[in-house]
Amino acid sequence: MQNVKVAIVQMVSGTQVAENVCTMQRLVQQAAAEGAEWVVLPEYWPIMGKDETDKVAIAEVFGDGQLQTALKTLAAELGIILFGGTIPLQSTDKTKIFNTMLVYGRSGELLGFYHKMHLFGYTGANECYAEADTILRGMDVPELRIDNIAVAQGICYDLRFPEFFRAQLPFEVLVLPAAFTYTTGKAHWNTLLTARAIENQCYVLASAQGGQHQNGRRTYGHSMIINPWGEILASLPEGEGVICAELDTEFLQSVRSKLPALQHRLL
C-alpha cells in the first residue's frame, strides 16, 4: 500500500438531475484542486426524488448514459480515481433498478462496479422506507484493487453487516457511499463506521448525503475519514462540501503489527 490523498464529497441532492450533476462536478473539481488522488461520491447523488420511483425513471443501461458519461469524463479530465457514489442502473425487472457504485480510473476506464446487496427497510413514527420495492439487490461480493491497495466496498445499509466486509478480506481501505436517514444516522452512524475501521484495522472512507432535501427527507451527513485505530481524521456534519485526508501506509502497518487481531481470527 502507498500513501494516497483522498477526498470525500458530501451532497444534499435535490429532485433535478441536471442540477445534481453540476453540483457533483463542481465538488469533485474542488477535491482535485485540493490534491485528492481518490474522490468518493455519496449514495443517490444524481437524485433524491419526490417519489421512490423517480430513480427508476432515470435508470441507465450499464455502460451508457449521461450519468456514467459525466463520471468517466470527469475522472479522465482530472486524472483521479473516482468512486461514483451510486447511480440507478436498469435491471432485469423493469419496475426496479440496481443501486450501483461504479469506479473509474485516471483515464476514465471502468475499474469495477458493485450492485448494493442489503436493502434498507425502516418504519418509524413519521417515516417508512422499503428499498426492496424499487431496488433489485445485487448478488456478488465485490473485489477491487487500486494502486496496489485492496479496497472493500459497501453501500449505506451494508454498513450494518460486518460479515459482508469480512467476506472481502484482506483489504486496507473500506469505501462506503451512503444516504443514512437522520433518525438512524444520529443513533448508529458514527458507532458503526468506527467499529468497521477498528475490527478490520483499515481506513474507512464514508461519503454521505447530509441535510434537508427538496423532497422533505432529512439525511444525517457526517461524512468521515477514519483511520485503522478508529480515529476520525476528517468529518463534515451537514451541508455540501469536501473533506480530505491522507491514507498513511506506515500507520496502518503499525496498527496491524502492534495488535495483530486479523492474524488471530479463528472464524
* First-last CA distance in the chain: 26
Segments in the chain below pLDDT 70 = none
122 vs 181: CA distance, rounded Å: 10
3-state secondary structure of 75: helix
Q: What is the per-residue pLDDT across 50-76, written as a single tens digit (0 to 9) for each?
A: 998 999 999 999 999 999 999 999 999
| Residue 156 known to be catalytic | yes
Number of domains present in the structure of the chain: 1
pLDDT of 128 reads 85
135 vs 129: CA distance, rounded Å: 12
pLDDT of 32 reads 98
CB neighbourhood size of 48 (10 A): 23
Angle between helical axes of 66-78 and 17-33 (0-180°, round to 10)? 10
pLDDT of 2 reads 80
13 vs 9: CA distance, rounded Å: 12
CB neighbourhood size of 251 (10 A): 16
Are residues 88 and 136 in contact, defined by beta-carbon separation less than 8 angstroms? no
138 vs 98: CA distance, rounded Å: 7
Which candidate in 37, 60, 116, 131 is catalytic? 116
Which candidate in 55, 156, 238, 240 is catalytic? 156
Could you tell me how far CA 206 lies from the centroid of its own chain? 6
Give CA angle at 20 (16, 23), nearest 5°.
Answer: 145
Q: What is the per-residue pLDDT across 223-251, written as a single tens digit (0 to 9) for each?
A: 999 999 999 999 999 999 999 999 999 99
Structural domain of residue 80, as residue ranges?
4-264
Task: State the pTM of this model.
Answer: 0.97
Q: What is the CATH number of the domain that holds 115?
A: 3.60.110.10
Are residues 77 and 45 in contact, defined by beta-carbon separation less than 8 angstroms? no
70 vs 148: CA distance, rounded Å: 26
